[in-house]
Every structure is written in C-alpha cells, then in structure tokens.
Structure 1
Amino acid sequence: MRRIPFLLTALVGLAIFSCSKTKNEEKMISTISKEAFGQLPDGQQADLYTLTNANGMTVNITNYGGIVTKLTAPDKNGQWADVVLGFDSLAPYLSGHPFFGALVGRYGNRIAKGKFKLNGQEYSLAINNGVNALHGGTKGFDKVIWKATEIKQDSVVGLQLEYTSKDMEEGYPGNLTVKVVYTLDNENALTIDYTATTDKPTVVNLTNHSYFNLTGLKRDILDHEVTLESDSIVPVDTTLIPTGKLRAVEGTPFDFRKATKISAGINKTEDEQIKAGGGYDHCWVLKRSGEGLVQFATVREPESGRVMEVFTTEPAVQFYTGNFLDGKLTGKGATYSKRFGFCLETEHYPDSPNQPQFPTTTLNPGETYKTTTKYKFSAK
C-alpha cells in the first residue's frame, strides 16, 4: 500500500512534464496571423500580418505598400526589441512619411529630371524630389494595396505580395506584374525575393526602404559600427544624381571596409560628397566574384550587441543615414529626429536609365526580373 502514493506522485509528475513539454513544443512553432489594419480613403481594406519564428522573432507586414511595420531582434542578454522605424497604426502611413519599411518601385532611387529614353522614346515621370524623380513617383508601389497570400512551411513562414502596375502608371511603360515574397526563418533571417515580368520594354529597380535602429529605437544610430564590402561609391552632384563615374573609398569618409562607427565620417563636410548628401546618402558598389547571394554589410550596435548581416544578389546598395529626418514624425514612443535610423537599400545604381555605362535596369518582354535580399539578426 505504501507504493501507491509514490506511484501516483510519479504519474502526476510525468503528466506535468508531458504537459510542459507540449507547451514548450507549441512555443517553438512558427506562425503567421492576420488582422485588420485600417481603411484607405477609397474604401480599400489594409491588413496586417504577423510572422513569428520558432525563436520568438516577430515581423509585422501590411499589404498597404508591403510595409514592414515592426521587426524584433535579440540583444546580447536575449531581450527582444523592435529595430525598425514606423508606426503602430495605418493613419500615419497615409499622412505621409519617408518610405518607412516600404516596398519601393517601379524604380527605387532617383532618375534625373524625371526623364529617360528607352528604344528611342522619351518617358516623363513625376518630379517629386527637387528636380528629380524618386522611388516610383507620387503614388509608387509603397502606396498601393497588394494581393497577399500567407505562406506556412516547416521551417519558415512568409507573405507573398502581388501587384500589377498598369502601362504608363506613374509614366512607366508596360504592364508590369510584380511578386514579392517575404520569408522569416528560424535563423532569425528575413528574406525578400522580388520577381517581375512585363509586356513592353520598361525599367525596374525594386527595393525595400526599412529604416533600422539596433538600439531598439532608444537613440540615434551614430555609434553603430558598419562594415561594407565595397571599394567604390557612385558619386553624385548637388541634386544627388550620379556623375557617371565611380570613386574609390580609400582615404575618404566612405571607407567602411573595416568596422567603422557612422559618426567617424558623417560630418566631414570638407568632403564634397558628404556635403552633397548631408551625410551618407550614396550608392556603394558591391565587391563580387560572381552571381548569387553575397554578404555585403554587417552592422553592430555596441551597447545592445545586436548585429545585422545583409546579403543580396544586387550589384549595389544605397546606404542612407536618415539625414532628412527632422523630428516632426513620432512613432512607437520615439521621435524620428535626424540620423535616428539608417537604410541599406539593395539596388541597381541610381539614374541607370540615363547612364548606359551602368548595369542595365531595362526589362524586356520574355525576361524575368529576379533579385533576393536577406537581413539576418543576432547578438554578440
């Protein structure tokens, strides 16, 4: 009879262990969920998708503009924090913002004076950045509702977004069919795959415009340590349009081949390029030995220990340090002041349609535009 209490205790303990194990296993499952995010003035509904991996990393994406509204990353103590600038509701995105987290197209970056020629025909675009066209126009891909499809696989969750840009939308020729797939894996990496096809010759340069701050939105990004695998930049004129030639980074404030704090060179206005951009707002040309996905950037925030590694198939990246943020926008309890976030916009060179010596951004019927970028997060 004395064995019964012991046996009961053992069975109860086993049951508790089994329940605990089940709960832990449930926590290790990647998930994706959907909720209403708000309504556009024309009545269209915007939704918000939450992607969570097995480690607890969370990425929020809305089908309005394909915007990444939230992305959490761990610090050296295992504490998670949001590391992208943005807002908690739809309204501020509709009121105007500097492309926080958005999908940018049909052409990311600048096109000189909003004009380019293709096969002998000149096309005119909206002038929305000084005397130039920027990021697809007045209503680019960042301001439309995308068709969203959830993705759930064993080790990843994702969101597929589709949009057809009509012929001559924002001045660009051809019906362009675009598909962008965000996937979150259990290595704390967010991968973005872009594909597009057209029925007429056109130009395409897609990117994501997330602003990162690895402090967890606590202060500016000047102490972030940046490494860029690049020997040269695309220098620009005073309107931030490429001069057409490359410039070596050696001996300049643009040399990030070794880990360097952003603050080290950002205010060296005796350099004409720093003066032109008001800091860093330039295209770095990646060092490549072939095609495929390569790592080109590592960013570390010393106090938190957060590290972001960036990989891409693209030939270049626009490194931008939030020089035009002015403190007028707030979100997530933070004031978005000058240099509060940085961008690493993987891309082809700015103004490529007007610079035949640059890698081409022309897409013809029968061809498929295809690029991939990956952002991976860890802590040291």
Structure 2
Amino acid sequence: MRYAFSDADTAFREDVRAFLGENLPADIARKAESGQRLEKADFQRWEKILATRNWLTVGWPADQGGPGFTATQRYLFEQEYSALPTPRLKQFGIGMVGPVIYTFGNEAQKQRFLPGIRESRDWWCQGFSEPGAGSDLAALSTSAKRDGDHYVVNGQKVWTTYAQWADWMFCLVRTDADAKKQAGITFLLIDMKSPGVTVRQIPMMDGDKELNEVFLEDVRVPVENRVGEENRGWTYAKFLLSHERLNMSNAARSRRQLNRLRAQASAAPNPLRSERDRIATRLATLDVELSALELMELRILSALNAGRDIGADAAKLKLRGTEIAQALSRLALEMAAPVEGLSLDQGWLNGAEDGVPGAAMAEYLNLRKLSIWGGSNEIQRTILARSLLDL
C-alpha cells in the first residue's frame, strides 16, 4: 500500500524534523537513548520546548488551543518524533483528560484546565483501576456522595502511574449504587493536594517507581470539578479509552528499536552460525510484522482523512503494537552482553554516570505491563471477535 503525501505535508515533515533535531536537549537524548530513567523535570523541560511551537498537544483542534493538525500531519509528526531518542510523552493530560475536557467539559473547565496541560504546567494521573475493577472497570466501587456543593469521595485506586508527580487526577467514581453498573458512574477532577488523598508506591520488578496506590478518604471535590453530567461518566471514559488505544501502536518507535537491534547484530563478534541465523530470522519476522502494523496505520489514516469511523481498529493497533514492542524487548534482552543484559543497577538506571550500564532487563520487565495497560489484550481480542466475527 502506497500513501501519497502532498508537497505541503512533505514541507511540514521537514520542518518537524529540523526543529526536533535542533532543540532536543543532548542530556535528555542521551538518557532516552541509553534507557536511563527521566525525572519529571526532564519531561517538563522538553515538553515546554515543544509547547513553544504548540506541538505538545498534537491531537487537539485549533479552536481548543491545539495546533489543529490534520490526521496526516499528526501521523508525520509522530513518525519524526519517534525517529529520534525523544522521551515518551505522558498522555494522561494531553491525550486523555484534555480531549475529554474540551469535548464534554463546560467553558469554565476549559479555561481553567486546558492551558496548564498545553504548557506542561499541570501533570495528571488516571484514577480508573481499582483492586476489584481492572479489566472489568465498570465494577468500580469508589463512591462519591453529594454534600451541598461538593462530592465526598471514598475508595482506592491502583496502578496509578506517576501519581507521585501528579497535580490532578481524573477519576471515575460511583454516584448511584442502585443503577446498572455502567450507568451510575461520574467523571471527577480531583486536586491531588486535597486533604484525604494518600499516595503509596507499588514496588516494580525493574525497580522503577512509576506505579502507585491512591487512597481517597472523605476527599471533598467541588461539584464544579465534575465533567459533564452526573452518572454519565462511563460515556466519557469510553471516549477517553479510544483516544488512549490510538496512541498505543508505537510503530515508529518500534521501527527505531528494530533498526538499533539490526545494527547491534551486524556489529557483534561472529557468534555460532546457528545463533546468527536465529537472530536474523527473529529480526526478519519482526520486520514483517512491524511493516504490517505500519500499513494498518496508513489504512486508518486514510479512513480518518475520509471522515470514516475506524470502529475496532483502535483495538487492533493496541493489540499488535504492544505485542511487537514486547517481542522487541525480549529480543534485545537475548542479544545483550551477559553482564549488561542481566544488570538492574538502579543507580545507573536513575541517571548516575557510574555503575553497570544496561537497560535491556529493565525494559523487558517494564514492558510486561503493556498486555494490560489501556485495556488488557484479552479484552481487545473480545472486542475484535464481537466486531469482526459477530460473536
């Protein structure tokens, strides 16, 4: 499948390539390239650079303060962005709650919250999953009871990524315990500095500190922080999750990783022929699978430009994109030198210049989460089965 880009699109792509190449800070690029972890200050420094061109909120329409990119421009931007050792942008504000606010929020909420997201002043986390409500998110039990001009929120959220850095949390709460479980849910915006909010870190296999539990005990949330109508939160959550899954194919980033592994295989000392052939076969297989994913992206791009509904394609992108990313991380671990491959030197991973370098094991362990992140892959297969096989 060939996709013809216009002269204007080609010029746009060259502009993006030049700006990113000239403005990506060297220290941030070095950390991202080597697999060292970035701090919140690193992310915000880079995001503020993107914001000077209004390129942080690439999917936002112009009338909501975004750049107003066409579907093709957004695709080209993401291609160029992922071709460099750039930080993975945190989507909680720009790709999740931002679109919910400008689509379903009132004018006061747009004026209050959207500028802080566009300018990387306010960081958000996602209060969806609970100990008893993961893949079955509609089973959530965190309650919000109306008390005058406030909701009083009690409950627990889990797997809340970067809650320790967040200024705000967008949160699903149950406001009607007697309604059908999808019908009694409300979408609230909660200030993380509110009394009664407690964040507790969840240890991770790779030693990172991105996951948390969030406990909500009699947290008072102004009614003005409710997005949309009471008990309509499930509608807004489905809208948000469709945006999240569209951002999860990461084909361009996976292509960059595949090219790095190819170069690594070529530069390695001659291994046993059987091992060399095995690695070559794995690289070729992943190349074919990734090419198919890239063609799927172009097909979806054509549909978006034609104004067609993409239906279950978001589930396809999420499913295949995460599987390929995990397969690449597994191959990278197999190809790493024994010491570096097995290293989990937390000092080095957190940015120290000394210690044992090597991020292959940490990346492999961390990316196990992709199978459940943004809706488990089993759920995506169910969505596809219902859509394509009429089950």
Of Structure 1 and Structure 2, the greater helix share is in 2
Same fold by TM-score greater than 0.5: no
Of Structure 1 and Structure 2, the greater strand share is in 1
Could you state the TM-score of these two structures normalised by the residue count of structure 1? 0.25
